[in-house]
Structure 1
Amino acid sequence: MKFLVTGGTGFIGARIVVNLWERKIPVVVADLSLNIAWAKQIALLKYDNDPAKRTELEEQIAQTSFINLDVSDKEAVNQVFFDHTDITHVIHLAYLMSAEVEANQQRGASVNILGMINMFDMAVEHRLSRLVFASSETIYGANHSVYGDENYAVKEEDFCSLEEHFYTYGVMKMLNEYTAQKYIKTKGVSIACMRPPIVYGDGRMRGSVLWACEFATNPALGKEVKLPFSKNSRDCWIYVDDVAEQFVRLALKPQLNHFSYNNGGHSVTAEELMQTVKSIVPDAKYEFDERVPRTSLVDRCDSSRLEHEIGFVPRSLKDGLKAQIKEARNRALQVTI
């Protein structure tokens, strides 16, 4: 067994790579802009007080292949599989985020549409055991009111029309899912996707939701937080390490009952989020933008399908925030030293 993780040194990708290292599963890490030091730091910082585990991880890291890869380049993608003929599983995360897509639609289409198709082709040509890719909660549109009851948690079968969408990114994810199901039906390959909500944690470095890191990391480091929406804005949040665990478990399970899965998470208002952080960091300081009543995302996602499929329930919001705050402080301490 060997995994290829594209976008493998990104915010979620690096956590998946560390998860695979912890399981002693060989992995090829590919990214357009490799940040090898970042992935190593996440792994080693996690076991700063466990020399034996650090040694094990260092051995796994030494055996890892790191590759600069543009997934929109079919020849380059082919070369990865020719150089590593033993790849059996792929977790595909190489994707341009919303702001990047809006700034450069041509590049966005090249990476997000053509790049995805290139990976689907690899699943066929190299008979992969499983390809799992990241879809998004944005496929459900930009407003929870489409689904009626504000307490309703959207399910995988729910759909909204293009008129209800805000992000080109989300519509691209819809096309990815549609295309994947064509490949499944016509080529007999094993492909699945997950639809993460807002993924929080320390270390997010790019994209239009940097606040999904800053809301807890800033207080951990004694800095103020500015959130670009009302304190009453409600969203669904999940911790980055839990998302990594979900991806790996879904990739490893021999047989799946479905194609698409909501990651789930905790549905809270921005004020509830703030109060949870304050229960850990009492002097946390927040500023909200009350001119923006809500984010352009759905509020609640039902995760029962995924929990049943892989037997994993994400940690509580408070436990996730404790982990993020601890990591942010340890990282800052390491930099200071």
Structure 2
Amino acid sequence: MSVMLKLGIIGTNWITAQFIDAALATKEYELTTIYSRHADKAQAWQDKYQAAEYFTDLTEFFKNGQFDVVYIASPNSLHFEQTKQAILAGKNVIVEKPAFANPTQQHVIQQLLDQNPDRFVLEAARHVYEPNFTHIKTAIAQLDDLQGATLTYMKYSSRYDQVLAGETPNIFNPVFAGGAAQDLGVYVVYDAVAWFGSPDRVAYFATPTPTGVDGHGTAILTYQDFDVTLIFGKNTTSFLPSEIYGLHDTLVIKPNAADIAQVEKHQFGSDMVTPLGEPAAANPMRHEAQVFADIIQQNDHAYAQQQFDLSAEVNSVLYQLRRSAGLHFPADSVSEDTHAE
């Protein structure tokens, strides 16, 4: 019987709470350690989850925290340095998407993993680990003559109200690697890369916000024989389902390409609609929490590397999309000769 993983967390927000609930439901984790810059918030989370300890100093958290794996859900721009700290402290890492701001950062983390081969870094792109994601990949392989796809994920963020009020919340701040592509866009880029491979070229037509990032936009990924259109955003909402086109069949994904609750196969010239897949879990992070526990418990470095390579491909496409749209983060100015410490 495997020993329960001791879990530490960085980030006290709704997504952290959702991951904790998913992790505890697997019976593979126990929450032991909480980090927050604010003692009152850290104490409140410790009381809520009956955690053993909390820290308000990140260096002390990594040096003295009694945990095996850390879940990082801080602002995007902090993921890179915190992941480096974790690896060097001998911890395994589950880092929220997007794991890193650009390919240079991704490469540095790969170097650190090469130097610390017992450690794991896993990007929490939760829908990739849901059964319906795999059902769709299988169904794509069975389509006759793939013609392309339209993948959507566009939801209004309440934080955009702050932008309208003249403020710059983290998720709409280039300093914190914010914007639509670096949030909801990650899901549909994961879809495209995992289902169709890396595109030959990309173009991103972004609608900017007053804060200097993209609020929403449309991306075109060009492959040898077809195109994939990605529609994503955070300052408006779409109710369009997603579609993948064969010559005579179409796969319809509802409500969108990230919250994959329903998958149907429609046949041209027929009223036949074939349901595919299975009911989604109540907690959308339930499957990834279990997969990550299995990887760490079973010391499955081969699968972890496969997923890290997929993460790197997604990171590269996101970076190309931003460059196409003229979107720049301060982190992009870091010299290409950055190396692992």
TM-score (norm 1): 0.40
Structure (1/2) with the larger helix percentage: 1
TM-score (norm 2): 0.39
Structure (1/2) with the larger strand percentage: 2
